[in-house]
Amino acid sequence: MKQFTLSKPLLRGVLFPGVALAVLGLAPVAWGGLQSQTVFCQKNADGSGLCYGNFIGFREDATSTSSASFRDDLAGTRSFDARTTPPGGTSPVLYTCIPNAAVSALWEQALSSRGFFRVSWDASGTCDYLRLVNSSQNTNF
Amino acid sequence: MTTQVLRGWLPSLTTSVGCAVGCWLAVSQAQQSQTQRMEQLTDEVGSLRQALESSSRATGASPVGTATLLAPRESRLSVEDQEAMALRVATLLKESGGPVVGSSAPEAPVPTAPEPSSEQREAVVRAGTMVDRVVSSGRMTAEDVLEIRRELVHLRGRPEADALRKQLVVAINQDRLIPAPGFDGLP
């Protein structure tokens, strides 16, 4: 009966490349570039709150009901809404707001945004802050 | 025999496993760093807001916002982040009536909407009744949205339409109104 033993050449030629590749993973990513998928929404008892993230984050969220939308129509009705399930929660929660004049000035860009966004609103449901970031890690909107 | 088989299969097997582990580690690392950065940014904005609220309380002004405040933490931010936060602080100061350096030109008076026509007044009553009904029931179906939207079309650009929509938005954000699955935006 033949006994199995790992010879030194086998160790060098076989195991070393595998271990080296695994270690490479610990080094900063250089070939793929940073990509992010972010989803976050929260609201307070008075209804004020915020959402931030990117569309790919909402679309590929572990919860299949998650979504985020910037809307506009012919009547000029602009609104933001997002749906996420809070950590530990069992049902999705809806968040929505209507932009004030300052935020509305950015709405056209929000409608065609492919990157990171952050929206916050006050207790009256008015979106009072909007931040849009166009960056390489959000390209797969 | 066994060693020969191993010499043939083991290199590709260990290389594949190595690649898989490497890729997984790289993706995990990238996601973790992004999440940490987001948390830092949230903390910074929270601490700025907290500082602003403390300042407002000291001067007797009304507090701005009610978002959850997080403990301040030291962090390095990019120029872009700092600019965004500076803009945010300026906006908050302006809203709270605090001092804002910059343009001191008086704001133009807000134009008042013309008196609604009789048709618009009727639309306001009908839409208001529908909004009250869905808010009191706590449920809003897609059909409800369409019905209210049909009435609000007559009130395009009017403050009454905005007020009715805001009524729905506040009820939704306070979890008093739950739109049916497949919610396709406000009326």
Helix, strand, coil percent values for chain B (each to nearest 5): 65, 0, 30
Give how many domains chain A has, as a whole number: 1
Percent of chain A with pLDDT over 70: 75
pLDDT of amino acid B112: 75
Q: Tell me whether residue A116 is in a domain.
A: yes
Bridge partners of A49? Answer: A43, A121
pLDDT of amino acid B72: 38
Does A70 lie at the interface with B, CB-CB under 8 angstroms?
A: no
pLDDT surpassing 80 at residue B82: no
CA dist., res. B34 & res. B32, Å (int): 5
Q: Between B96 and B184, where is the model more confident? A: B184
CA dist., res. B135 & res. B172, Å (int): 9
Best of A4, A71, A129 to substitute, by most chain B Cβ atoms within 10 angstroms, is: A129
Cβ atoms of B152 and B127 closer than 8 Å:
yes
- Token duo for residue B33: 């760093």
Q: Tell me whether residue A15 is in a domain.
A: no
CA dist., res. A101 & res. A98, Å (int): 10
pLDDT surpassing 90 at residue A96: yes
- CB distance A32–B166 less than 8 Å? no
Q: Tell me whether residue A6 is in a domain.
A: no
pLDDT of amino acid A75: 80
Mean pLDDT of B150-173: 93
Residues in A touching B7 (Cβ below 8 Å) = 10, 14
Q: Tell me whether residue A94 is in a domain.
A: yes
Task: Measure CB to CB from residue A75 to each of B24, B156, B170 and give the nearest one.
Answer: B156
pLDDT of amino acid A35: 81
Does A123 lie at the interface with B, CB-CB under 8 angstroms?
A: yes
Under the banding of pLDDT at 50, 70 and 90, the label for residue A85 is very high
* Sequence spans of domains, chain B: 2-96, 118-179
pLDDT of amino acid A29: 46
Closest Cα in chain B to A22: B22
Sequence-separated (6 or more) residues with CB below 8 Å from residue A132 = A106, A109, A110, A113, A115, A116, A117
Q: Tell me whether residue A10 is in a domain.
A: no
pLDDT of amino acid A4: 46
Which ipTM score applies to this complex?
A: 0.75
Mean pLDDT of A50-61: 93
pLDDT surpassing 60 at residue B155: yes
Q: Which residue has the tokens 């009256």?
A: A124
pLDDT surpassing 80 at residue B129: yes
Cβ atoms of A65 and B178 closer than 8 Å:
no
Question: Would you give the DSSP letter of residue B51?
Answer: H
- CB distance A46–B66 less than 8 Å? yes
What sections of chain A are H helices per DSSP? 8-10, 16-24, 55-59, 101-104, 107-111
Q: Tell me whether residue A31 is in a domain.
A: no
Bridge partners of B178? Answer: B139
Enclosing H/E stretch for B177:
none
pLDDT of amino acid B151: 93
Mean pLDDT of B52-60: 53
Q: Specify the range with the lowest mean pLDDT, choosing from A22-26, B35-39, B73-77.
A: B73-77
Range of the domain at A79: 39-138
- CB distance B183–A10 less than 8 Å? no
CA dist., res. B33 & res. B30, Å (int): 5
A4-46 tens-digit pLDDT: 445 555 555 655 555 555 554 554 444 577 888 899 999 999 9
Q: Tell me whether residue A8 is in a domain.
A: no
- CB distance A21–B21 less than 8 Å? yes
How many angstroms separate the Cα of B86 from the Cα of each of A86, A116, B45, B99?
Answer: 30, 19, 10, 14
Q: Tell me whether residue A16 is in a domain.
A: no
Does A100 lie at the interface with B, CB-CB under 8 angstroms?
A: no
Residues in A touching B153 (Cβ below 8 Å) = 75
pLDDT of amino acid B125: 96
pLDDT of amino acid A34: 82
pLDDT surpassing 70 at residue B172: yes
CB-based burial label for A87 (10 Å; 0-12, 13-18, 19+)? exposed
Residue A12 backbone dihedrals phi, psi, to 5 degrees = -70, -40
